[in-house]
Amino acid sequence: MALITGAGKESGIGFAIAKRLAADGATVIITDVCADICEGDYARMPSPEELHFLAETIGGHGLVMDICRDESVDDVAKEITDRFGRLDFLVNNAGAGPAPNLLQYMDLAMWRKTLDINLTGTLMVSRAMLPLMTTGGAAIVNTASVAGKRPRSFGGAYCVTKAGVIMMTKVMAQETGALGIRVNAICPGYIMTDMTEWKWGLKSKFLNMTVDEARAEEEAEVPLKRIGTPGEVADLAAFLLSDRARYITGQAWNIDGGIITEI
């Protein structure tokens, strides 16, 4: 039984992970907020009906969950308990990077929203689901980012929260190791998602270039000279959740085409 948050977009990393786990034989639950997370968001959230339909395409289940609201997270934990009785795998994938700006000028409401979604939300879901992870081989994967290891102008809130996710992963691995629960993070670089395409569009407007030029500029940074795919990220997540990674915990794995060469 696997739960993946932020998995309501067919083109996103969360759904790619869900699809891969389902193909590997897991019963999958995908969740998303199913509401606009901020005005002018880079991609529309799915409706509850769309979320359920998407889940059905991989033989899974769709549940609406707002990871920033205690009661919403608790309701999902209760439903999983009542319907399935346990949880084997958790992927904390939900995240956002709204309103990029220099830190000194960033709107504090957007700063707090980024913290709530990326960092506090990851903690809230984890602590609600950990009591359900009582079977041997249970594991958690948190979606961080190379932005949590490498500072980026105009993305300070996102960088800070993803760095926090990495440290939360390490602390949680220390605390849950005796329970037999492994916790790792994945740190994607440039991956072809709605968020990445939105970022290229924003960059092209600010720097007076075309979207293709914005993409080419980022591809040039990557030693492998290409943008990664959600499916490639899903392969790494599936490995870290599997028994093949049974002696790996507390690590933050880069998947970025070689941009960052240290763990």
Residues 42, 105, 158, 247: which is the catalytic one?
Answer: 158
What pLDDT, on a 0 to 100 scale, did the predictor assign at position 44? 62
Q: Is the pTM of this model over 0.75?
A: yes
Phi, psi angle pair for 132, to nearest 5°: -90, -10
- The CA radius of gyration of the chain, in Å to the nearest whole number, is 18
Cα–Cα nearest to 238, from 21, 33, 67, 83: 21
What pLDDT, on a 0 to 100 scale, did the predictor assign at position 105? 93
Which residue's entry shows tokens 């959740």? 241
135: left (phi over 0), alpha (psi -120 to 50) or beta: beta
What pLDDT, on a 0 to 100 scale, did the predictor assign at position 204? 84
Ordered per-residue pLDDT tens for the chain, 263 residues:
999 999 999 999 999 999 999 999 999 999 999 876 554 445 567 899 999 999 999 999 999 999 999 999 999 999 999 999 999 999 999 998 877 789 999 999 999 999 999 999 999 999 999 999 998 899 999 999 999 999 988 889 999 999 999 999 999 999 999 999 999 999 999 999 988 888 788 778 888 889 899 899 999 999 999 999 999 999 999 999 999 999 999 999 999 999 998 76
The three-class DSSP label of residue 3 is strand
What pLDDT, on a 0 to 100 scale, did the predictor assign at position 65? 97
Q: How far is CA 15 from CA 3, 30, 252, in A?
A: 11, 8, 21
Q: Is residue 158 annotated as a catalytic residue, yes or no?
A: yes
Q: How far apart are CA 113 and CA 109, in angstroms?
A: 6
**Helices within the chain (DSSP H only):** 13-23, 48-56, 70-83, 108-115, 121-129, 156-176, 194-207, 211-221, 230-241
Q: How far apart are CA 255 and CA 204, in angstroms?
A: 25
